[in-house]
Amino acid sequence: MRLPSLQRLRIQAAWTRLYRSLRMEHWFPHIPLALAVGLAGIAELIPSLKSLRRLNFFVHMSAQDLSSLSQGFGSLAIHGLSQGIIGGLLVLLGVGLLWRSRLAWVLTFLMTAITLALQLVSPDGIHSGLLIYSGTLLVVLYLARRQFVRVSLATGTLFALVGVLLTMGYGVFGSYAIGGQFDPPIRDFGSAIYFTVETMSTVGYGDITPHTGHARMFTVSLIVMGLMVFASSLTMIAGPLFNQRMMRLLQPGQRPMKRKNHVIVVGDNPLARNAISALSQRGITVTTVLKSRPPEGVDTPADLVVGDGGDADVLRDAGVADARAVLALGENDSDNAFVVLAARDANPDVRTVLAVSDAHNMGRVRHVRPDVVLALPLLGGELLAMALSGEELKADALLEQLLKLG
């Protein structure tokens, strides 16, 4: 089977070379995104920090300051301390993005989407610069979604707790500050926290109701933020526990493999199976990557990762960072080429071997720059020519035909 697009392979190879030369695996895209979100949080914090320097902050804050919606991410909060809580949450999310936290990505994506929607329906008109910023950030977050894969029970619990506390703080201080716009008015801390918990849980007894437009907008933002934080926190905390439990049920008695200095084999054909057997007999640890789990009755590899070998995230799950080599031994030359590109993206230093089934693709696979090309068609032709011409079978010549340096 021929490669579908030579131009696509060239673009992928050029990107891989740029990725390796700039060592982007260490800083892209998590550091730029963390800076973008963290700096936005600091920008939200600065007005609140200035306001906090005034005496009797809540007493002297004007009704206009409380009721106006701020720009950017601040459209999620009223001016004042609640805007500072939004800023603090953004700074925290920036730290989470720096560590490639999945929960931080989910919360940032949802906050950006809500902010973009609020900007589009803002009665004060659309601010083009902020709109472009929010839209660009949303698109980049979506495109980089596979880079934020760290799901830790401890990290998820920490972010969930901080997110809930910050949201409650936003609700308590915000409702207390504009308490006169509710019926009955919120005049004490107990009423503020009662209204916050009641609203975040969407119970809504109706004993405290907003009676101005600004109070209603604040209540809506508190409901949206409460649902967002609770849903994301539940997913990120219960998800790892559920996955661990399911793995124990599906694979009882199996312990996680320690992948170190191993070989990753991608493919499910006689060549791949024979390579796995030969490597295992020599005491080399092998991790097999298959697109689907073998059916019942078929031997399952000792260390199996189910997924597309052409996906860098799947190879990371297979431990490509600590692997000695990646063998792309599938029957499809195009799939093998993308496996090599994915391996280079995930670990620029890993050695790669690419098997070629169609001799016409020999010139094209060189653009992928594998370390070794396993040229089985050329070997067969060379053997046939030597046999028919009566030439002596030379092992060095056969090996040269079999293994082509990339």
Write down the pLDDT at residue 35. 92
Q: For the chain, which residues score pLDDT lower than 50?
A: 1-4, 52, 54-70, 78-81, 253-254, 398, 401-406
Write down the pLDDT at residue 242. 61
Facing residues of 351 across strands?
A: 325
Write down the pLDDT at residue 81. 44
Cα–Cα distance, 175 to 293 (Å, whole number): 54
85-110 burial, b at 16+ Cβ within 10 Å, e below that, comes to bbbbbbbbbbebbbebbbbbbbbbbb
Contact present, 211 and 185 (Cβ < 8 Å): no
Contact present, 65 and 122 (Cβ < 8 Å): no
Contact present, 323 and 352 (Cβ < 8 Å): no
Write down the pLDDT at residue 352. 92
Write down the pLDDT at residue 121. 60
313-334 burial, b at 16+ Cβ within 10 Å, e below that, comes to ebbbbbbbeebebbbbbbebbb
DSSP, res 263: E
Is pTM, for the whole model, over 0.75?
Answer: no
pLDDT tens sequence across 226-284: 887 777 776 666 666 665 565 555 555 445 556 888 999 999 888 898 889 888 888 88
In the chain, what are the domains? Answer: 22-250 (no CATH), 263-405 (3.40.50.720)
Reference 264, options 335, 299, 314; nearest CA is 314
- Paired tokens of 65: 């300051």
3-state DSSP assignment of residue 144: coil
